[in-house]
Structure 1
Amino acid sequence: MTSRVLDGGLATHLETLGADLSDELWSARLLLEDPGLIRQVHSDYFAAGAEVATTASYQASLEGFTRRGLSVGEAEALIRKAVSLAVEARDTHGSGLVAASVGPYGAYLANGAEYTGDYDLDEDGLVAWHRPRWEILATSGADLLAVETVPSVVELRAVARLLQESPGTRAWVAVSCRDDGHLNDGTPIDEAAKLFADLPQVVAFGVNCTAPRFVPGLLERLSGKPAVAYPNSGERWDAAARRWEGLADPVEYGEAAAAWGAGYVGGCCRTTPEHIRQVRAHLPG
């Protein structure tokens, strides 16, 4: 099967280029302060062999920006800017797709809830929270949405409802998982995938922001739609010490990625252009 190569960690490469992301807006802050650096990251990933640029809208939200004193109109413009920066890099490169990142509610909370699904909103509340940004990104000029790092079945149900409201919007859906069979909230991944089985605009379902050692077992439990897989590098986050531990070799990552058999494959946290270069090198063709 031919795989489409995604990019790697946006924030990771921004930090490599000198960006300070110690802020609740994370990489989205640079949409305001240094958009050119975001465009450079997209360009670097295309040069490394990526065929898809994932936008810097993961942590961008109307609430997050207006809390900083921006108007709603200014916040909407910044979210659209995340897409235009990726489009500019793609057009300069000459080929590729732009996937507008739709981060989970937990990313807005900035308290680690995207790794637990421990939310203060129910399904209806999550639909209402996601809808404004969803509508902006769905009409932003991106080729598709990247709904990613979803930790719970409740949030997945909200996403499914939004997709049903917008049947012309293409998307992939990726969940964050605690082991080789379950989302972070404990839902079996095969049960979660059933929510999207009958939605034709969902081009792939799979996993991201998860330890790569869990990917083979997770993908074995999926059937039907093509899989998407872009886990973390293999390093482990020590929440108490607030640092990454361990090492992940890009060559080993590329070898592992080639064996996953996913239709869309790339990297998430702590992966770099070199990881994507190695993914490209190890994939057939």
Structure 2
Amino acid sequence: MKPDLRKAMADQVLIGDGAMGTFLYQKGFPVGISYEELNLTAPEVIRDVHKQYMKAGSDVLESNTFSANYDKLSKYGLEGKVEEINRAGVRIAREAAGPQGYVVGAVGSIRGGKRNNISSEELKRHFEQQIHAQLTEGVDGLLLETFYDVEEMLIALSLVRKNSELPVIAQFAVEDIARTLDGYTMADAFRIVKQAGADVFGFNCRTGPNGLARALETLQHVRSLPASVYPNAGIADYVDGEYRYGASPEYFGQMALRFADMGARLIGGCCGTTPEHIAQISAALQGYQPMPLPVLEEAEERIVIQEKQEPASKQPGGEPTLVDLVRERHTVIVELDPPRDLDISKFMKGAEALKRAGADALTLADNSLAVTRMSNMALGHLVQSQVGLRPLIHIACRDRNLIGTQSHMMGFDALGIDHVLAVTGDPAKFGDLPGASSVYDLTSFEIIRMIKQLNEGVAFSGKPLKQKAGFVVGAAFNPNVKHLDKAVQRLEKKIASGADYIMTQPVYDAELIVRMKEATKHLDIPIFVGVMPLASGRNAEYLHNEVPGIQLSEQVRSRMAGLEGEEGRAMGVQIAMELLTTAVEHFNGIYLMTPFMFYDMTVQLTQYVWELSGRSLSPLSH
């Protein structure tokens, strides 16, 4: 009779299996299907993979259930088969393992590295359903794998411990620096997970053997549990439409000895590994006698994050932020769209004119309406360095994935551009390149949280940065809705995510400005009221009928009807002045939007704000 899995790992190094998903992909099963559904539709295929790993030397098989949870299966219309797929996955693995092999139920991360894309309550429901099905079918233990943050791991682990005393293997997906996405060092994560009841602590996926070895090294002074490692077969390459992994089986055999010497008691493979990799691991560890595991934990040496040094371009003491200014006096932000071609001369003239008019900042949209424009990062830097006007840059979720977004933010930090506005971004299919992809790795709530995380000296990946950023992050607010109270509730969530100030969509109703003041008076961050002068009657009708988030009153549309050219712009400025009269009375923050590069209109309106507020200034005094 085989020993309990805990005792087996205490006495020897067990060999795990290799990849299931990428192995099936190599066998011709395409990306885009549920590999877990094959437990029902092609059980003989899954059984054959398991048997190949057993023949190669595996002691422990994972059930083919990594993504067999409600959330992941719902993408294939299989949410009603969670229990059936999980139980079949365990049953097939048990048949292949035979009487001497161990079967662990595979439970993968549901968030998959995306921060807060699913609530804790939903995670609990989905994990409990999957874990219950596997326990019911009868497993030797549970393998919680490819988790990116401690919070999600604790949810899954607590549900296992609530229902079972079986062994639990807790594996994180980390880079070699070994931090979770929520910022925990592996030493801290180890202590937390051990206290919560894990029997084995380890790593899988995201990197190859060398990266996981470096991660394992960070635990050498605290580890008192067996370790598990399931590395990828190196870094994937994408060649001729296929993913290929380069780490050889022989290399895996060499690294297996290194892992065992570092305290690993369960060694297998993740993405890109095959039965050949497992055979080399098994051969390398034949007859290996592990050293006893340490008993005591030692204190962890903490990583100290340096405070950010002030950019040399700042004045001694630091220039006040827009949030500081608007709490003291009326403050004007003016939007000037980057050009759609390579000529920036008119844009720069507009920026200079607005600087002379006393604008406190120039804000630049991020390919608004999904129309391709010049980089607002490049133009923002030119405005800052050549004009001396503070840039406030929009960051859209649409155009960049997590990698690109953090890289973009790091570039802003290097340039000393510290004021940003986080927006979702209009879908690409409605812009000038409708074949482009809309990324949306992040929601507007998540991008605010992630940018503020940089201010804590922590990268999106959870890695510590050598210094802290100093971003002041704004959020967008659309008051042009039927139920203003619901819009304010959404706004409150953005503030809870870390927004420092709010910029509204353009408002064309003075009564709405008053109602907006009443509805937001309980908020403790400043609001910049959006006012965009209309350029013509056609412009008014286009904005009202076709642009999301903009709604004109019937009175405004009537006054603009039929007006074009200078006559239309004059009426647009007059209407904007009337709106500003109300806005300045109720809000310190004013956000002016320049239509069609007619910056003379927003220069005139900026000057009008100063007249209303009683603020006199020389062109260079601000």
| Aligned counterparts of 2:135 and 2:150: Cα–Cα separation in 1 | 22
TM-score w.r.t. structure 1 length?
0.86
Structure 1 residue matching 2:214: 3-state secondary structure: helix
Q: Which residue of 2 aligns with 1:271?
A: 273
Structure 1 residue matching 2:203: 3-state secondary structure: strand
Q: Give the counterpart letter for 1:88 in structure 2.
A: E
Structure 1 residue matching 2:201: 3-state secondary structure: strand
The alignment status of 1:256 with 2:255, answered yes or no, reads yes
Q: Which residue of 2 aligns with 1:100?
A: 105
| Aligned counterparts of 2:74 and 2:243: Cα–Cα separation in 1 | 31
Q: Which residue of 2 aligns with 1:48?
A: 56
Q: Which residue of 2 aligns with 1:2?
A: 12
| Aligned counterparts of 1:231 and 1:70: Cα–Cα separation in 2 | 29
Q: Give the counterpart letter for 1:104 in structure 2.
A: S
| Aligned counterparts of 2:23 and 2:56: Cα–Cα separation in 1 | 12
Q: Which residue of 2 aligns with 1:227?
A: 227
Given that 2:102 and 2:140 are in contact with CA atoms closer than 8 Å, whether structure 1 keeps it comes out as yes
Given that 1:7 and 1:52 are in contact with CA atoms closer than 8 Å, whether structure 2 keeps it comes out as yes
| Aligned counterparts of 1:2 and 1:42: Cα–Cα separation in 2 | 22
Given that 1:176 and 1:184 are in contact with CA atoms closer than 8 Å, whether structure 2 keeps it comes out as no
The alignment status of 1:15 with 2:25, answered yes or no, reads yes
Identity of aligned residues (%): 28
Q: Deviations over 1:47-82 (max 9, x none)?
A: 00000111110011234446645573x441121000
Q: CA deviation at 1:12?
A: 2.6
Q: Deviations over 1:166-208 (max 9, x none)?
A: 24232101000022321345431111112222355x3211100
The verdict on how the C-alpha distance between 1:71 and 1:172 changes in structure 2, with shifts beyond 3 A counting, is closer
The verdict on how the C-alpha distance between 1:24 and 1:228 changes in structure 2, with shifts beyond 3 A counting, is same
Q: CA deviation at 1:259?
A: 0.6
Count of matched residue pairs: 270
Higher relative contact order (CA 8 A, sep 6+): 1
| Aligned counterparts of 1:79 and 1:163: Cα–Cα separation in 2 | 15
Q: Give the counterpart letter for 2:153 in structure 1.
A: L
The verdict on how the C-alpha distance between 1:193 and 1:123 changes in structure 2, with shifts beyond 3 A counting, is farther
Q: Deviations over 1:110-150 (max 9, x none)?
A: xxxx2x34232243432233111111112221111111000
Q: Which residue of 1 aligns with 2:37?
A: 29
The alignment status of 1:205 with 2:204, answered yes or no, reads no
The verdict on how the C-alpha distance between 1:45 and 1:153 changes in structure 2, with shifts beyond 3 A counting, is same
Given that 1:147 and 1:172 are in contact with CA atoms closer than 8 Å, whether structure 2 keeps it comes out as yes
CA RMSD, 1 decimal: 2.4
| Aligned counterparts of 2:61 and 2:123: Cα–Cα separation in 1 | 26
The verdict on how the C-alpha distance between 1:179 and 1:185 changes in structure 2, with shifts beyond 3 A counting, is farther
Structure 1 residue ranges without an equivalent (≥5): 107-113
The verdict on how the C-alpha distance between 1:242 and 1:191 changes in structure 2, with shifts beyond 3 A counting, is farther
Equivalent residue runs for 1:168-247 within 5 Å: 168-200=165-197, 202-211=198-207, 212-222=209-219, 223-236=223-236, 243-244=242-243, 247=246
Instruction: Pick from 83, 87, 91 the counterpart of residue 84 of structure 1.
Output: 91
Larger-gyration structure (1/2): 2
Given that 1:207 and 1:215 are in contact with CA atoms closer than 8 Å, whether structure 2 keeps it comes out as yes
The verdict on how the C-alpha distance between 1:67 and 1:256 changes in structure 2, with shifts beyond 3 A counting, is closer
| Aligned counterparts of 2:22 and 2:78: Cα–Cα separation in 1 | 26
TM-score w.r.t. structure 2 length?
0.41
4+ runs deviating over 6 angstroms = none
The verdict on how the C-alpha distance between 1:131 and 1:230 changes in structure 2, with shifts beyond 3 A counting, is same
The verdict on how the C-alpha distance between 1:70 and 1:125 changes in structure 2, with shifts beyond 3 A counting, is closer
Given that 1:152 and 1:185 are in contact with CA atoms closer than 8 Å, whether structure 2 keeps it comes out as yes
The verdict on how the C-alpha distance between 1:84 and 1:138 changes in structure 2, with shifts beyond 3 A counting, is same
| Aligned counterparts of 1:56 and 1:167: Cα–Cα separation in 2 | 21
| Aligned counterparts of 2:283 and 2:200: Cα–Cα separation in 1 | 23
The verdict on how the C-alpha distance between 1:151 and 1:63 changes in structure 2, with shifts beyond 3 A counting, is closer
Structure 2 residue matching 1:14: 3-state secondary structure: helix
Q: Which residue of 2 aligns with 1:127?
A: 124
